[in-house]
Amino acid sequence: MNPIKTLPSLLTSLKRPVASGEPLLLHVSEERTDKTLTRTMHLNGQSVYFKIAGTELPPPLPTWDFAVIAGLFTAMRLNRPLHVCGPASTSLLHNLEDFQETWAVWLPDMYHMIRITADREIEPPVMTDRRGVFAFSGGLDSTFAILRHHMKSVGRRIVNPAAAVLINGFDLDISNREAVEKATGSARAILDEMGIPLATVETNWKSVMCYNWGMEHMAGIIACLAQFQGMADVAVVGSDEGLDHLDIPWGCNPITNPNLSSKSLRVHTEGIGFTRSQRAGFIVENSNLAPHIRVCWENAHTGTNCGTCEKCIRTQLNFRAVGAEPQGYLKTAGFWRIATIPLRNLGDNYFLRESLREASRRGVRGWWRLACAIAIVKNVVLSPWLMLRNHLKHTIRKNENLYRQIRKLVKKNA
């Protein structure tokens, strides 16, 4: 296909659609068997399913809160009111007003304040034993979060793990059964050490309803955890970053995460007081789980860690910074691979500097520190180009029709 011929249609897409006053209607259906439970939400002509499997299936839902959270960003992008054709928690709807207000300030060209109504607003009974359902990818952050609570090293904030939830359909392609099985095996190896049951949630939310993964992913994660409402009263997610470095706007953050809570299911963000290297140090010092941790997403089709992508290299540096040799990678990054680590955004340099700081604090030496320093200098030199590229990408993404047409064009010419 000739890109020049497609230019008129792309320019036509620059015109944003006029907002409609008609509300989006949200419906939910449920199918239950002895081994699985599937809940499907229907919104704006789209169907999104959540298929839950595990040793213990969650009870029937008192509200459709999960679907409200899953569909919220879609309604905000379309600037359409949202009506729940069923029950919703009054406290959740209250908190979502703060949630929307924040995102409308951060990205006003993309997200708008919308009105949410429901056939019935109720407040389900509140559990008091602080039972938690943990988002568990098997990565460094989620392993740190669940290990910390399992060891009861969080003081009065302790949450007793009722289940850990591995989500298939986000970084893991649900059609790649081999990768899903490998990732599930790694997650189970970690959880078996602590005696915590594993539940899986398979969903097409990312491919059907998510538009901007970096900003919207937490809504998808909490929608999966909210499937366990009534079985747990706390949803625990591992923090992407520590308080010493908050990249705002970003989907997972300590500002808007709590706004996805209701009185019956509160969202707790674990690890905000720790850097990524400090989390690695906690895991190494208190367990033998490091070889089972899975962090790779660029080559997630392998179901394991490629060892050469940015996330894999960065995590290897986290472990080197605390004096531990990286384990569980198909390849271990050498000097030049670290020195030429891919740069995706301006915040990447923070993670490299943080590893060097933690190594200095612990008195850890090694050849990798020079490679890391070279990578930092290289990234500083390339930062103007990165800023220009990211600004262009953000400008294009602000117009959803234009962005989707460019994506199709790129795929056809790949």
Do 319 and 347 belong together in one domain?
yes
Instruction: For residue 286, tell me if it sits in a domain.
Output: no
Within 13 Å and on the Cβ side, how many CA atoms surround 49? 10
Instruction: For residue 414, tell me if it sits in a domain.
Output: no
Give the end of a domain, one of 122, 152, 180.
122
Instruction: For residue 2, tell me if it sits in a domain.
Output: no
Q: Which structural domain, as residue segments, surrounds residue 356? A: 295-400
In this prediction the pTM is 0.91
Give the end of a domain, one of 236, 255, 270.
270
Do 63 and 194 belong together in one domain?
no
Do 387 and 347 belong together in one domain?
yes
pLDDT digits (tens, 9 = 90+) for 216-259: 999 999 999 999 999 999 999 999 988 988 889 999 999 999 99
Do 312 and 389 belong together in one domain?
yes
Instruction: For residue 279, tell me if it sits in a domain.
Output: no
Instruction: For residue 359, tell me if it sits in a domain.
Output: yes
pLDDT digits (tens, 9 = 90+) for 13-26: 444 444 457 999 99
pLDDT band at 136 (very low <50, low <70, confident <90, very high): very high
Q: What is the CATH number of the domain that holds 143?
A: 3.40.50
pLDDT digits (tens, 9 = 90+) for 344-392: 777 789 999 999 999 999 999 999 999 999 999 999 998 888 888 888 8
Residue in 318, 331, 308 with CA at minimum distance from that of residue 364? 318
pLDDT digits (tens, 9 = 90+) for 43-74: 999 999 999 999 989 999 999 999 999 999 99
pLDDT digits (tens, 9 = 90+) for 278-336: 999 999 999 999 999 999 988 888 889 999 999 999 999 999 999 999 999 999 999 99
Instruction: For residue 17, tell me if it sits in a domain.
Output: no
Instruction: Provide the percentage of residues in the chain whose pLDDT is more than 70.
Output: 94
Do 77 and 118 belong together in one domain?
yes
Cα(222)–Cα(207) distance, integer angstroms: 16
Instruction: For residue 11, tell me if it sits in a domain.
Output: no
The pLDDT score that the predictor gives to residue 396 is 83
Instruction: For residue 138, tell me if it sits in a domain.
Output: yes
Do 240 and 195 belong together in one domain?
yes
- Residue with more model confidence, 339 or 390: 339
Do 186 and 160 belong together in one domain?
yes
* Local structure of 164: helix, strand or coil: strand
pLDDT band at 33 (very low <50, low <70, confident <90, very high): very high
Do 232 and 349 belong together in one domain?
no
Do 147 and 246 belong together in one domain?
yes
Number of domains in the chain: 3
Cα(256)–Cα(271) distance, integer angstroms: 16
pLDDT digits (tens, 9 = 90+) for 76-95: 999 999 999 999 999 999 99
Do 303 and 391 belong together in one domain?
yes
Do 49 and 117 belong together in one domain?
yes
Q: State mean pLDDT over 88-110.
A: 97
Q: State mean pLDDT over 136-161.
A: 97
Cα(20)–Cα(81) distance, integer angstroms: 9
* Local structure of 172: helix, strand or coil: coil
Do 261 and 140 belong together in one domain?
yes
